[in-house]
Amino acid sequence: MCGIVGAIAEREVREILLEGLKRLEYRGYDSAGLAFISPTPNALATQINTIKTVGKVNKLVSAVSKSKAKASGRIGIAHTRWATHGKPSVANAHPHLSGADIALVHNGIIENYEALRAELRKAGYTFDTDTDTETIAHLIHANRAGGKVSLLSAVKKTVKRLEGAYGLCVIDNTEPDKLVVARSGSPLVIGVGIGENFVASDPLALGQVTDRFIYLEEGDIAQIQRESIAIWHKGKKVNRPTTTVKHQTADSDKGRYEHFMLKEIYEQPRVIQDTLDGRVSKSSVLEQAFGINAPALFDKIKSVQIVACGTSSHAGLVAKYWFESIAKLPCQVDIASDYRYRDIIAQPDTLFVTISQSGETADTLAALRYAKKLDYVATLAICNVATSSLVRESDISMLTMAGQEIGVASTKAFTTQLAILLVLAIVLARRTGLTTAQEAKLVKELHKLPGIVEKTLGLRKQIKTIAKQFSDKHHSLFLGRGIQYPVAKEGALKLKEISYIHAEAYPAGELKHGPLALVDSKMPVVAVAPNNDLLGKLKANLSEVSARGGKLFVFADESIGYQSEKGLKVINVPRCSEVLAPIVFTVPLQLLSYYVAITKGTDVDHPRNLAKSVTVE
Ligand code: F6R
């Protein structure tokens, strides 16, 4: 997804911008670029210079090092682009220019850009790119009225015409001492320095220059100068608090691991522990952790509505089983992109829960905004980013303490989401008859979780060996029953995302209703088999696969004593209780997808066509 960095300083800002872009690489992008207000060759004036490249930031770094005089200035803006309008190309990469003086970077999508374009064409503007962003640059230029209107006023006038989402950062060679920024639907944060200031779409980008940040609110416009920051909201000047954010540099460093994904898989025991710390005592759950108002709100809850996307929605599907079986509450789970456009009939006394790693996923945010107009008791965000829009816009929130997740394929965020959802199920279950003894039993299991996950990571070598059998395959099936069906879905999503092998998940009982026709010796079938009441039924489903010559890989609880035989490879998973099984059995599936991708040689941390944070629809 796109990333923005901007800087104004007394020193050269080139390296600050490049380092910022590198730090945003984890978000996924296809091109990158910079613009500076640089001295002209005779040093008597200034001019806008841009450098743009398609591909990784390293290509931009090489291009910059070849023309340092051009890529130089004390004020500059930079961008990584993830194509939405027009293919990845140098022309479509940001910054975009209007005339010789205005340069702009933009995150988000302008929905009425075609109408604006037509209008600007009539006014004599020509367009060099396929982007919606170029329209904004020209509109600002038009609103400057040949210099009669200041850049700030022109931006204020311009954003009133924009429909859609934007985080903008603009420079103007005729006002070379300021960055003007605006936010609506796409995050922007101002980094506060001493005699220098910065802006970025994510504070992570500025970790090398400051730990003090001002988070812009929806609709804010700001003028950033070396010594001052001024913010306006709905035409009025406003003050926004400065927050100190300690950067966990270890998260953005692969350390001894070859990929972020593997590092993040291995971090799971620790981050699950971090997630439970302070939220769970020895024998009970501390429900205040959901916020001071949460207990009173939870008292009113008679059902749960979950909305999320991708992996986070799989966490919701697992939780549905917990809400039903532990809390005895009905629970509905919807995909955010679907929910937001339906005529939703909100059930009375319902808690609306969003789940998101980033907290900036456009569909999940839109679903939350829609839900807030409906009759829910409260909105709860389960999220990994404390400062995200989702957290800020929800009534209450509970953070997963996964730390920064950089691998595009979500791993530790998912298992920490599950830990929180299990805690939530217990909290709600208290109100529906869960006894303190039953709660203590569940909490005892939760305390065992980090240790069991650690043990499960020990399957790495075995999984690495079987992964080789997938590398020449084009399709695969993942099976699970009951609460393990969403686990199978998550396993299939991981495999397709990073190895590009088509992977489909089915509830094992559905096999004979169609998908069994796909099974032959070329179709690997992966199954998750914890020790629960459905085991007998699952085994019967797996026999149907064996009978058709299917190649089975079964992750089975070691206590079952499932034996490998011809066409059936059993990988024993450390013994765990039924309630923990969805979390524990996720781990070997993550490792499987990782090692299959390694065997195939794909780009594990940056799979093709995908972005880490999907901030556009
Ligand atoms: C898959 C993956 C995505 C995200 C989805 C939602 O590995 O990472 O499916 O889960 O884009 O993102 P968040 O959780 O940030 O809302």
Write out pLDDT tens, residues 520-570.
888 899 999 999 888 888 888 888 888 888 899 999 999 998 999 988 999
Q: Is the CB of 229 under 6 A from ligand 1?
A: no
Does residue 607 form part of some domain?
Answer: no
Q: Kindly report the CATH number assigned to the domain that includes residue 387.
A: 3.40.50.10490
Q: To test ligand 1's pocket by mutation, which of 358, 387, 394, 421 has the most ligand atoms within 8 angstroms of CB?
A: 358
pLDDT at residue 247 in the model: 57
Q: What is the pTM of this model?
A: 0.75
Mean pLDDT, rounded, of the chain: 93
Mean pLDDT in residue range 453-482: 95
Cα within 13 Å of Cα(453), Cβ side: 29
Q: How many domains does the chain have?
A: 3
Ligand 1, atom 3: nearest CA belongs to which residue?
A: 310
Last residue of a domain, one of 456, 482, 514: 456
pLDDT at residue 255 in the model: 81
Is the predicted pLDDT of residue 408 greater than 80, yes or no?
A: yes
CA of 2 to the centre of ligand 1 (A): 16
Instruction: State whether 547 and 520 are in the same domain.
Output: yes
Does the active-site annotation cover 309?
Answer: no
Instruction: State whether 443 and 514 are in the same domain.
Output: no
CA of 493 to the centre of ligand 1 (A): 10
Does residue 609 form part of some domain?
Answer: no
Rounded-to-integer distance, Cα 478 and Cα 491, Å: 7
The torsion angles phi and psi of 512, rounded to 5 degrees, stand at: -75, -5
DSSP three-state, residue 546: helix
Catalytic residue among 52, 320, 569, 612: 612
Does residue 316 form part of some domain?
Answer: yes
Does residue 613 form part of some domain?
Answer: no
pLDDT at residue 277 in the model: 77
Rounded-to-integer distance, Cα 598 and Cα 513, Å: 34
Instruction: State whether 445 and 466 are in the same domain.
Output: no
Instruction: State whether 164 and 225 are in the same domain.
Output: yes
CA of 314 to the centre of ligand 1 (A): 10
Does the active-site annotation cover 612?
Answer: yes
Closest Cα partner for 304 from 316, 295, 296?
Answer: 316
% of the chain with per-residue pLDDT over 90: 75
Last residue of a domain, one of 213, 245, 277: 245
Rounded-to-integer distance, Cα 593 and Cα 613, Å: 20
pLDDT at residue 541 in the model: 85
Q: How many CB atoms lie within 10 A of CB 72?
A: 17
Instruction: State whether 304 and 424 are in the same domain.
Output: yes
Beta-strand relationship, 75-81 and 96-98: unpaired
Rounded-to-integer distance, Cα 90 and Cα 129, Å: 9
Q: Kindly report the CATH number assigned to the domain that includes residue 195.
A: 3.60.20.10
Rounded-to-integer distance, Cα 328 and Cα 308, Å: 22
Does residue 148 form part of some domain?
Answer: yes
Instruction: State whether 124 and 268 are in the same domain.
Output: no
Instruction: State whether 492 and 525 are in the same domain.
Output: yes
Instruction: State whether 434 and 508 are in the same domain.
Output: no
Q: Is the CB of 311 under 6 A from ligand 1?
A: yes
List, in order, residues 6 or more apart from 298 with CB less than 8 Å away: 287, 290, 351, 427, 428, 431
Which tops the pLDDT comparison, 109 or 519? 519
Which tops the pLDDT comparison, 19 or 246? 19
Is the predicted pLDDT of residue 132 greater than 80, yes or no?
A: yes
182 touches 166 (CB < 8 A): yes
Is the predicted pLDDT of residue 298 greater than 70, yes or no?
A: yes
408 touches 497 (CB < 8 A): yes
Counting every residue written for the chain, the total comes to 617
Ligand 1, atom 10: nearest CA belongs to which residue?
A: 311
Ligand 1, atom 11: nearest CA belongs to which residue?
A: 310
Query: pLDDT, tens digit, for every residue of 233-289?
Result: 999 999 999 998 765 445 667 888 999 999 999 999 999 988 887 688 878 888 877
Instruction: State whether 19 and 105 are in the same domain.
Output: yes
Instruction: State whether 228 and 306 are in the same domain.
Output: no
Does residue 142 form part of some domain?
Answer: yes
pLDDT at residue 82 in the model: 78
Is the predicted pLDDT of residue 104 greater than 90, yes or no?
A: yes
Ligand 1, atom 16: nearest CA belongs to which residue?
A: 356
Does residue 612 form part of some domain?
Answer: no
pLDDT at residue 28 in the model: 61
Does residue 615 form part of some domain?
Answer: no
Is the predicted pLDDT of residue 319 greater than 70, yes or no?
A: yes
Q: Which domain holds residue 48?
A: 3-245
Last residue of a domain, one of 428, 456, 484: 456
Instruction: State whether 466 and 451 are in the same domain.
Output: no
Give the helix, strand, coil percentages of the chain, each rounded to 5: 40, 25, 35
Instruction: State whether 464 and 420 are in the same domain.
Output: no
